Amino acid sequence: MLLVLDIGNTHTCVGIFDGACLIADWRLTSERRTEDELGIYLTGLLNMTKKSQDLISGSIISSVVPPLEAAWSRGIYKYLGIEPMVVSSELDLGIEVGYETPAEVGADRLVNAVAAVHHYGCPVIIVDFGTAVTLDYVTSNCVYLGGAIAPGLLASIEALFGKTAKLPLVTLEPPKRVVGRSTSESMRSGILIGYAGLIDGLVDRMSQEQKETPKVIATGGHAEVVARWSSRINTVDSNLTLEGLRLIYERNAK
């Protein structure tokens, strides 16, 4: 079995694959912990699957938080005896990376691109709703070009709450209407429906610039709710990143 981890700024997603089948997954808070804390945490999760940790034969990590990447790597090695593979542009991804400085691309963005190309073909735009919202473009020739980065939905709400005197800190429940009838509803409309407009606008401009008609795949914590208001998102794939990790591991494992 394969252990996959996507370490983000806010959350860490952990998955277990048995072959090509995702048999378990968890969403954890990305907190600074020691290798022992993470190792014990991990063995506890594995026990929940009722499968022996000895069945884990490989591991791969995608991370945008270097200290957590190091701690998880040490914990996996100490408690499972496995040296995890770490995603970078230097691995064989199966797609060409056309970014000006490939080493600067977030590992999660590359992982998403690999999974999207494999399952949905080229050209494709991947929208990931995380701490930041990223849009990544892969051309019809399967070249990863780059894309756009915007503040995440929660970051936008926290900015409104922190920088204004009277606006409340609201939850991201789907708004009932575009024209909000209360302050909270107006904020939800501005964030959720506003981000749908941002996504649609960027998708249109990217498509016009590249003179292509890409599929648009969304993933991440708020993908489902924003997709309700978007006219450009074709598919929501909640396991896209974990699947990309599996594909990259299988391509590079020796």
Tell whether residue 16 is among the known ligand binding residues: no
pLDDT at residue 228 in the model: 94
The domain 2-86 is classified under which CATH number: 3.30.70.20, 3.90.1150.10, 3.40.50.300, 3.30.420.40? 3.30.420.40
Q: Check the annotation: does 54 bind a ligand.
A: no
Residue with tokens 């991947």: 126
- In the chain, which residue ranges form alpha helices assigned H by DSSP? 35-48, 66-80, 107-120, 153-163, 183-188, 194-210, 223-227, 240-252
pLDDT at residue 192, as a whole number: 93
Where residue 19 falls among pLDDT bands split at 50, 70, 90?
very high
The pLDDT confidence band at residue 232, using thresholds 50, 70 and 90, is: very high
Choosing from 36, 54, 108, 204, the catalytic residue is 108
Do the domains at 2-86 and 96-245 have one common CATH topology? yes
- What are the pLDDT digits (tens) for 26-74? 999 998 899 999 999 899 988 888 777 888 999 999 999 999 999 999 9
pLDDT, position 163: 81
> Which stretch of 1-10, 15-24, 142-151, 182-191 has the lowest confidence by average pLDDT?
182-191
Residue 168: which pLDDT band, with cuts at 50, 70 and 90?
confident
pLDDT of residue 8: 92
* Listed range (77-81, 124-128, 155-159) with the worst mean pLDDT: 155-159
Cβ-proximal residues to 74 (8 Å cutoff; 6+ apart), any chain: 35
Question: The pTM is what?
Answer: 0.92
Domain residues of the chain, as ranges?
Answer: 2-86, 96-245
Edge-to-edge strand ranges of the sheet holding 235-236 = 96-97, 143-151, 132-138, 124-129, 215-220, 235-236
Fold of 96-245: Nucleotidyltransferase; domain 5 (3.30.420)
109 is in an annotated binding site: yes
Distance CA(29)–CA(47), nearest Å, equals: 19
235 is annotated as contributing to ligand binding: no
Is 92 a known active-site residue? no
